[in-house]
Structure 1
Amino acid sequence: MPQTSRTNSKKERRQENEALILSAAEKVFAEAGFGGATMQLIADVAGLPKANLHYYFPTKESLYRQVVQNIFQIWLQAADTFDQAEGPAEGIGAYIDAKMEISRRHPAGSKVWASEVMHRAPVIQDYLETTLMEWTDGRAAIVQRWIEEGRMAPVNPHHLLYMLWATTQHYADFGHQIETLNGGAPLSDAQWEEAKKSVKDIILRGIGVIK
């Protein structure tokens, strides 16, 4: 086998193993929290030897931080709409769509983040004080600019962001409650589309973007 093929195969195998581990860790941390999770349990869920976990992630904390960072990076990508949007209707509307879709496809990651913050962020406080703060201040500045341009109602930009997070992430963090109130079944594709439309209508009308 040529050297390049062996190298690519090794790289692909590493990526597959990392993806398996991170997916399993996301589920275990969401259910057990950082304190209740063990590397052995994560290895069992991933279907890999425990030694493999320590090869890719030397400690439980390093694996946990990667899980948290992954969901945050996904959220950051969703917020690109703010920087590229022509105005609040497009930017905030697309952001709601993206965040709702993330709650649908990555509910465990959202729960890990919520649990960490509710416990006063013992592992990722530094992340909150740097990356999250910088991102929030940057998006708040964009909202403030739209307000000053008269394109939306004069609301507190930070509180608007908190409301967007709380509303969209509710569908992940309280998914069981929503399923229970939905007759014990997950939301269908049509119901997800209806939910996204309802959230957008309520928020965009509330900030005076649509009538």
Structure 2
Amino acid sequence: MDAAAKPRTTRIQVQKRELILDAALDVFSTNGFRGSTIDQIADAAGMSKPNLLYYFKSKEDIHTTLIERLLETWLAPLHEIDDIGDPMTELRAYIRRKLEMARDYPRESRLFANEILQGAPRIMPLLEDQLKSLVDEKAHIIKGWMRDGKIAQTDPRHLIFAIWATTQHYADFDVQVRAVLGPDRGGDGRFDDAARFLEQLFLEGLRP
């Protein structure tokens, strides 16, 4: 069929796909890929299984769509690190953006963590290509800051890993964080507290 002759996607179809993806995000982030079924996703979306399969051909299709979207969103803060910016300002902004994502996208964070814990069977090519290329690019920028004496010598990739680990903790282990902080400190302000601490932890350690 000629591309121009393909039927247009209607607004209702777009809305249905988004409804399915949102329901699937709940199911996958709770049960993981292996523990989730099409029936569970259909129930969460409030539609029949045949209706769901009109929009997505399989559980794998839904999961792949979610992961591809997630990686685009997840990597956006790393893309924004600018080589001509002040290193401390750039890294402080990166830490803040990653914590904002932990606050605003906890389901996506758990979805990604579940996939990684299973050995990344469905996204390994993306990790080895897209993610690795971006980290290599930003590691080169960080090394440039070190050569110029703007920040202390360190391993740039492990610095990025450490920022990922500490910021994403507030999404993946949110229940634990709130329980340990208690009712007085476990509210929304915990992210501001975390940002101040992580900025001190990382930025003071990187001062030349």
**Fold agreement, TM-score > 0.5:** yes
Paired residue for 1:119?
A: 118
Alignment gaps of 5+ in structure 2: 1-6
Counterpart in the other structure of 2:95? 96
**What amino acid is the match of 1:110?**
S
Q: Does 1:145 align with 2:111?
A: no
Q: Give the 3-state SS of the residue equivalent to 2:80 in structure 1.
A: helix
Runs of 4+ in 1 over 4 A off after TM superposition: none
Q: Deviations over 1:137-157 (max 9, x none)?
A: 111111111111111011001
SS at match of 1:130: helix
| TM-score when normalising by structure 2 | 0.88
Q: Find the counterpart in structure 2 of residue 49 from structure 1.
A: 48
Instruction: Report the residue type matching 1:24 in the other structure.
Output: A
Distance 1:206 1:22 in 2: 41
Aligned counterparts, 1:146-161, within 5 A = 146-161=145-160
How far off is 1:183 after superposition?
2.6
Partner residue in 2 for 1:168: 167
1:19 & 1:92 partners in 2: Cα distance? 34
Query: In the superposition, relative to structure 1, how do residues 161 and 129 fare at CA in structure 2: closer, same or farther (>3 Å)?
Result: same
Q: Deviations over 1:15-50 (max 9, x none)?
A: 322222222111111111111101111111122332
Question: Shift in Å at residue 161 of structure 1?
Answer: 0.6
Amino acid at match of 1:48: M
How far has the Cα of 1:87 moved from its partner? 2.1
Q: What is the one-letter code of the residue matched to 1:115?
A: N
Identity fraction in percent: 34
Q: 2:79–2:134: 8 Å Cα contact kept in structure 1?
A: no
CA contact (8 A) 1:179 1:185 kept: no
Unaligned 5+ runs, structure 1: 1-6
Report the TM-score, using the length of structure 1 for normalisation.
0.87
Query: Would the aligned equivalents of 2:95 and 2:199 in 1 still touch at CA under 8 Å?
Result: yes
Distance 1:157 1:36 in 2: 36
1:84 Cα deviation after fit: 6.5
Q: CA deviation at 1:185?
A: 8.6
CA distance, structure 1, for counterparts of residue 84 and residue 45 of structure 2: 40
CA RMSD of the aligned region, Å? 2.1
The structure with more helix, counted as a fraction of residues:
1
Which whole-Å CA distance do the structure 1 matches of 2:54 and 2:16 have between them? 10
